[in-house]
Amino acid sequence: MSSVVPAFGPDAPARLAGLADVTASDAALRRFLHGLPGVDAVGLEARAAGLGTRSIKTTAKAYAIDLAISMIDLTTLEGSDTPGKVRALCAKGRRPDPTDPGTPHVAAICVYPDMVAVAREALGEGSGISVASVATAFPAGRVALPVKLADTADAVAAGADEIDMVIDRGAFLSGRYMEVFEEIRAVKQACVRKDETAAHLKVIFENGELSTYDNIRRCSWLAMLAGADFIKTSTGKVAVNATPANTLLMLEAVRDFREAVGVQVGVKPAGGIRTSKDAIKYLVMVNETLGDDWLSPEWFRFGASSLLNDLLMQRQKLSTGRYSGPDYVTVD
Amino acid sequence: MANEKFAYAPAPESRAIVDLAPSYGLFIDGEFADAADGTVFKTVSPSSEEVLAEVARAGEADVDRAVKAARKAFGSWGALPGAERGKYLFRIARILQERSRELAVLETLDNGKPIRETRDVDLPLVAAHFFYYAGWADKLAYAGYGPDPRPLGVAGQVIPWNFPLLMLAWKIAPALAAGNTVVLKPAETTPLSALFFADVCRQAGLPRGVVNILPGYGDAGAALVAHPDVDKVAFTGSTQVGRAIARTVAGTRKKVTLELGGKAANIVFDDAPVDQAVEGIVNGIFFNQGHVCCAGSRLLVQESVQEEVLDALRRRMSTLRVGDPLDKNTDVGAINSAEQLARITELAEAGEAEGAQRWAPACELPTSGYWFAPTLFTGVTQAHRIAREEIFGPVLSVLTFRTPAEAVEKANNTPYGLSAGIWTEKGSRILSMASKLRAGVVWANTFNKFDPTSPFGGYKESGYGREGGRHGLEAYLDV
């Protein structure tokens, strides 16, 4: 492969077209996905646990904490969300630690589609923070395709920079891979704005529902073949969300995909990552599986809400030597 | 893969937890004592060549004294109810757990292996072994060796330097559980953890003479094995020394177990889970710097996936962190001794001279101490020395095969037979391969996994007898 192109760039579709034969029919796609190497669960989990024992101290810790903050999709996805809540979250995202202006801002604010306009306005111009919106009837995705597409288009029209879609797990689990593939393609199309630019598309698998590691690897390739800019572990709304092992598996998938197709895709673990220690373990996995090329908010994100405050407390402790406690970070 | 942005800062484990004395004696009859002839030797840290301590060097007279002490102690120890012996072993296991950090640091200092391994593998397994055999002490009647199996008497045990404390546990735990007393000789390059274990025995209140530790060289080991009042000989080490021991004990009443060398095949089929297979290959040969008798030192990869597997393996090897064994992020530590380094170097050069292609990731090795970069040889055939001789270092020889039958043939085509690995997603192939491989341990979709409940031992020149599990009791019972 001569060069690597980003999944959201203009050259990616041509690269994907090079694999048109594997997505030419339901049978071809199935053969391809089922031909991927299997995953040994014990070995995968052991590797993830092994990387979790890395000891990240002093300068490395400071780097990791700032990087993790800059990779956060600061999220509120509740029925009780209000404009006030979303504005507060945007303020927090811009200046996570009011006592230290050197603190990096988060990558994005992640909200439901009806809150996109509020977030857009609250962030204003030039904040460097994206507005991400879940769409396609998040989290269950149990509506007809036209409704999903309308949901997506609505969020994009309201100013979303990024769309986090959910796949149809029912279709995937019943083996209708082509249906899932076509749906991702359609949503990707719905992300295109009037001026031909497009919101970045993150594809959520809901690993807890896909259940097996083999399924997660297949789903990763399926989503990347369909044009996903990011692949994302989970909605945060089910019992099992991001785990070190299922995230590691997706990291391996984007690595292999880039190797094979020359298209670079990002990864976003979401749900259940609450402490700095956890976040650093994920960054170690990125570092040792993918290396420098993925160590930026452009290619790796954390879908999280409470994680930010723990990172801020650890950041304060590193700079002052004291652990000041939860009353010294803001509650939003 | 570039790894420059996120550079890990040094994360050294503190060595303050280990209180090293300038000198150590022999441990005989519950007391530390100088050697009868007063000789001593130095033990160094292989990662820095720093002298750690001076240790008394056992000679023939000391062996005799230790065996006499063990014989005397056997009378009452062997007669204790199993439940009482079990209590001592449980106590030792708990103390080992409590002192695990200290012992892990000590082992890393004396052996050169990374703290990550001593902390996460060696010490947990050491304690597990004592817990496991403690449980057998009062259940020997149910072990399948008759209603009232008797101990043998005095066990003379000689252990290697690659897992000093773990090999001690493999030897001492079943021996004591069965009611024997022991005289153990640790390797000359790694005597310290055995001497700290002597202190653990005292802390546990173990009766005098039940455990005797004789640091020393091969001459002490030979004297111990040959001692007429030793009832049982257990040895882990090289096949060459194993042969000498077999000759020594031939024709005597002594019962022997030998756990010797290996040249294990790690067999990767075209349907293997590639990422996990690569982890298994790495763990199989670079765990403990390849100083592992059951190391997967021959990679047999199906020719149709050779490139894919080797590309992934090279990429993974490039992320191995070689350096200060006390750093918690170190994956590969120091070679145990200058002598071993010379042997590895010589065999690697022979590999090149015989036409195999040598590759190692770019890695900066420390300037003092004994170091060897993780190394891969491709284009190796069964005729190469590096495919036949045990290197006992971080050197992997890659061979290819076309069919399962050829894999079996090549895997078995070695004088050794300690272990083997199979990587395939096909369960029936695992069973079929496992039944054809002549190796004591066959791992399926994993490698170098140890558990006290599982017997371990070899075919052919890898030795005889089994250690671990219920089978491990047989070696220490009069059956």
Q: Which residue of B has its CA nearest to A214?
A: B273
Whether the CB-CB separation of B340 and B381 falls below 8 Å is answered with no
Per-domain residue ranges for chain B? 23-260+459-474, 265-444
pLDDT at residue B59, as a whole number: 98
Mean pLDDT along residues A61-67: 98
Is B412's Cβ below 8 Å from some Cβ in A?
no
For chain B, the straight-line distance linking the first and the last C-alpha, in angstroms and rounded, comes to 58
pLDDT tens for each residue of B451-476: 999 999 999 999 999 999 999 999 99
Interface test with A, best of B119, B271, B276 (most A CBs within 10 A): B276
Test A291 with B3 for CB contact under 8 angstroms: yes
Residue found by looking up tokens 């790690």 in the block: B266
Residue A248 has pLDDT above 70, yes or no: yes
Q: Which residues contact B139 (CB under 8 A, 6 or more apart)?
A: B82
pLDDT at residue B463, as a whole number: 94
Q: At A325, is the pLDDT very low, low, confident or very high (cuts 50, 70, 90)?
A: confident
Q: At A331, is the pLDDT very low, low, confident or very high (cuts 50, 70, 90)?
A: confident
Q: Which residues contact B476 (CB under 8 A, 6 or more apart)?
A: B151, B152, B155, B174, B175, B177, B178, B180, B232
Mean pLDDT along residues B379-389: 96
pLDDT at residue B1, as a whole number: 75
Q: Which residue of A has its CA nearest to B273?
A: A38
Longest dimension (CA), chain A: 60
Mean pLDDT along residues B117-127: 98
Q: How far is A241 from chain B (nearest CA, A)?
A: 22
In the CATH hierarchy, which top-level class contains the domain B265-444? Answer: alpha beta
Q: Which of A243, A245, A219, A215 is nearest to A231 (CA)?
A: A219
Q: How far is B192 from chain A (nearest CA, A)?
A: 27
State ipTM: 0.95
Joined tokens for residue B382:
């069964």
Residue A1 has pLDDT above 60, yes or no: no
pLDDT tens for each residue of B128-163: 999 999 999 999 999 999 999 999 999 999 999 999
**Class of residue A279 by CB neighbours under 10 A (exposed 0-12, middle 13-18, buried 19+):** buried
Is B271's Cβ below 8 Å from some Cβ in A?
yes
pLDDT at residue A324, as a whole number: 85
Joined tokens for residue B144:
């399948």
Mean pLDDT along residues B325-351: 98
Q: At A36, is the pLDDT very low, low, confident or very high (cuts 50, 70, 90)?
A: very high
pLDDT tens for each residue of A121-136: 999 999 999 999 999 9
What whole-number percentage of chain A has pLDDT above 90? 96
Is B4's Cβ below 8 Å from some Cβ in A?
yes
What whole-number percentage of chain B has pLDDT above 90? 99
- Taking contacts as CB-CB distances below 8 angstroms, the residues of chain B near A43 are 273, 275-277, 279-280, 445-446
pLDDT tens for each residue of A150-180: 999 999 999 999 999 999 999 999 999 999 9
pLDDT averaged over every residue in chain B: 97
Residue found by looking up tokens 């997505």 in the block: A23
Test A58 with B9 for CB contact under 8 angstroms: yes
**Class of residue B14 by CB neighbours under 10 A (exposed 0-12, middle 13-18, buried 19+):** exposed
Q: Is A81 a catalytic residue?
A: no
pLDDT at residue B2, as a whole number: 82
CATH fold of B23-260+459-474, please? Answer: Aldehyde Dehydrogenase; Chain A, domain 1 (3.40.605)
Q: How far is CA B266 from the centre of its chain?
A: 19
pLDDT at residue A82, as a whole number: 98
SS3 B248: helix
Joined tokens for residue A99:
């006592």
pLDDT tens for each residue of B443-452: 999 999 999 9
Catalytically annotated residue among A97, A164, A310, A332:
A164
CA distances, B467 to each of B169, B212, B454 (Å): 11, 20, 8
Domain coverage including residue A145 = 5-328
Q: What's the total number of domains in chain A?
A: 1
- Taking contacts as CB-CB distances below 8 angstroms, the residues of chain B near A38 are 271-273, 425
pLDDT at residue B3, as a whole number: 86
Whether the CB-CB separation of A29 and A177 falls below 8 Å is answered with yes
Q: At A2, is the pLDDT very low, low, confident or very high (cuts 50, 70, 90)?
A: low
SS3 A122: helix
**What's A117's domain CATH number?**
3.20.20.70
What whole-number percentage of chain B has pLDDT above 70? 100
For B387-405, the DSSP string reads: HHS---SSEEEEEEESSHH
Rounded CA separation B479/B476 (Å): 9
pLDDT tens for each residue of B45-101: 999 999 999 999 999 999 999 999 999 999 999 999 999 999 999 999 999 999 999
Rounded CA separation B326/B17 (Å): 13
Mean pLDDT along residues B275-302: 98
Whether the CB-CB separation of B181 and B33 falls below 8 Å is answered with no
Q: Which residue of A has its CA nearest to B13?
A: A55
pLDDT at residue A315, as a whole number: 96
Partner residue facing A57 (CB), from B11, B425, B445:
B11
